Amino acid sequence: MRTRLLAALAAALLLAGCQGDSGGKKADTSELAKRLSAARTTIDDAETVNISLSTPSLPDGVTGLLSATGQGNHTPAFKGKVKVVTGGSTLTADVVSADGTLKAKTSFSPLYLKIDPASLKAPDPAALLDAENGITQILERTKSLKAGKKSRDGSDVLTSITGTLPGSVVRTIIPSADDASIFTVKYRLTDKDELRDATLYGPFYPSGGDVAYTVKLSTSDKPVTIKVP
């Protein structure tokens, strides 16, 4: 009888221990999700957002976005510079996008011309700043969250959070992304839950292999007015 009681007690303690471990993991994941949600709120509530979206290089033969840098708001609107690779050459243009219209001016033309970003397999940069369907949605749609190592950026100590994103979500950022694939993402947050940067990795272009895009976002309370020329 004593042996049975001891065995039952041991089993109960083991079960309680397992439940405690599981609860801890859930709590950790929940905390990470809260931090990412807070980072999104900070960006979506800002008057102005400075954005940089870039990749070091694109695979040979690929037409796509190399970088986009500038500022905008959640109307959404954007003004800045965009670099795309097409036909093996890099094309740089000043761009302005608002009210669903995107215009660009290159060194070959003194005028802003209306363009279709889909033809360059690039996103409309203004759409990236849409508070509901823009780039910040990835912060709350990332799965399999895990806390990573801390790193230092100047005087700031940053916490990294890794996870996965369905291609259907990534495709809203880079239209050519494979919507049937799973992409990995790594965020870096400050102690105040401000997003320093996010790096997405996966098959952004058909037959182009995996590509890494890094997005950096910063905010300002000063409004900016953007009109298409």
Spatial neighbors of 54 by CB under 8 A, at least 6 apart, are: 66, 67, 68, 69, 213, 214
What is residue 162's predicted lDDT score, i.e. its pLDDT? 97
- Cα–Cα distance, 78 to 226 (Å, whole number): 7
Specify the pTM.
Answer: 0.84
What is residue 122's predicted lDDT score, i.e. its pLDDT? 83
- Cα–Cα distance, 64 to 85 (Å, whole number): 5
Spatial neighbors of 88 by CB under 8 A, at least 6 apart, are: 61
Residues 176-209: pLDDT tens digits?
Answer: 999 999 999 999 999 999 999 999 999 999 888 8
- Asked whether 83 and 98 are in contact (CB, 8 A), the reply is no
- Cα–Cα distance, 95 to 72 (Å, whole number): 11
| 77: number of Cβ within 10 Å | 20
Residues 112-155: pLDDT tens digits?
Answer: 999 998 877 788 999 999 998 999 999 999 999 999 989 988 88
Residues 21-52: pLDDT tens digits?
Answer: 434 344 389 999 999 999 999 999 999 999 99
What is residue 13's predicted lDDT score, i.e. its pLDDT? 36
* 189: three-class secondary structure by DSSP: strand
- Cα–Cα distance, 179 to 171 (Å, whole number): 6
Q: What is the mean pLDDT of residues 55-77?
A: 94
Domains of the chain: 37-220 (2.50.20.20)
Q: Are strands 89-98 and 156-166 parallel, antiparallel or unpaired?
A: unpaired
What is residue 24's predicted lDDT score, i.e. its pLDDT? 37
